């Protein structure tokens, strides 16, 4: 079951400048390890950073290829 009030509460607290949530108890960032644990995904391989000067479509195609 999903709490319908939970998602809007997180959206209100998201700060894109810092890629983190600003909560009453402090700042909270979601890490790759958090995503792995929550979604039960195995994370392996090297971290991908697209080369400078390419557009989003080219970066997505390169990431898919890897």
Structure tokens at 48: 């991908």
**11-52 pLDDT tens trace:** 888 888 888 888 888 888 888 888 888 888 888 877 777 888
Report if pTM > 0.95: no
Task: Give the model's pLDDT for residue 29.
Answer: 87
Structure tokens at 3: 């709490």
Q: Which residues pair with 14 in a beta bridge?
A: 21
In whole angstroms, what is the distance from residue 61 CA to residue 18 CA?
Answer: 26
């Amino acid at each position: 079951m999903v709490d319908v009030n939970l998602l809007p509460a997180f959206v209100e607290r998201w700060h894109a400048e810092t890629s983190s949530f600003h909560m009453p108890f402090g700042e909270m960032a979601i890490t790759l390890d958090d995503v792995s644990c929550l979604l039960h995904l195995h994370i392996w391989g090297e971290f991908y950073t697209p080369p400078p000067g390419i557009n989003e479509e080219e970066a997505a195609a390169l990431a898919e290829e890897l």
